[in-house]
């Protein structure tokens, strides 16, 4: 991956080695660790920032996309049936505030996550499949 040569970058915390996934794992990538070492990475974990614990049940967007969740027409539901939409909205707001606070022009976020994912997310059926969003 080619990274910009300067500026702060918003990075999903799990990609930088923080064990914050729903299974309390990290998804470490060398480029993210390098950004941290250079002092350029601003780590965000919207799910934890929104008040969810580590570990936590997996959750998926049901009947819509992230845009639909923001518009109030889709919900985020955990595999145990809990509606965690408000946690996800709170986490998204905090991640956006962090980006604005440091003037970040770029965010590199983990694919397929219901909170960090962009373009492709899990289907909402907990079947391991993805939908485009």
Closer to ligand SF4 by Cβ: residue 6 or 109: 109
Site residue total, ligand SF4 (CB under 6 A): 12
Q: Phi and psi for 62 in degrees, rounded to 5?
A: -105, 130
List CB contacts of 121: < 8 A, sequence separation 6 or more.
60, 61, 65, 66, 112, 113, 114, 130, 131, 133
**In the complex with ligand SF4, which residue's Cβ is closer, 77 or 116?**
116
1 to 40, contacts with ligand SF4 by CB under 6 A? 12-14, 20-21
**Least distance CB 121 / ligand SF4 (angstroms):** 11
d(CA 57, CA 98): 25
Residues 58-97 that bind ligand SF4 (CB under 6 A): none
């Amino acid at each position: 991956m080619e990274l910009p040569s300067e500026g702060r970058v918003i990075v999903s915390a799990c990609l930088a080695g923080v064990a914050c996934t729903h299974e309390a794992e990290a998804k470490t990538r060398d480029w993210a660790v390098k950004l941290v070492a250079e002092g350029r990475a601003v780590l965000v974990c919207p799910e934890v920032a929104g008040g969810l614990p580590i570990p936590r049940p997996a959750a998926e967007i049901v009947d819509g996309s992230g845009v639909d969740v923001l518009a109030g027409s889709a919900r985020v539901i955990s595999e145990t049936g809990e509606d965690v939409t408000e946690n996800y909205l709170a986490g998204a707001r905090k991640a956006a505030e962090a980006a604005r606070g440091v003037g970040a022009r770029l965010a590199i976020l983990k694919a397929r996550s219901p909170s960090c994912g962009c373009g492709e997310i899990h289907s909402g059926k907990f079947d391991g499949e993805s939908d485009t969003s």
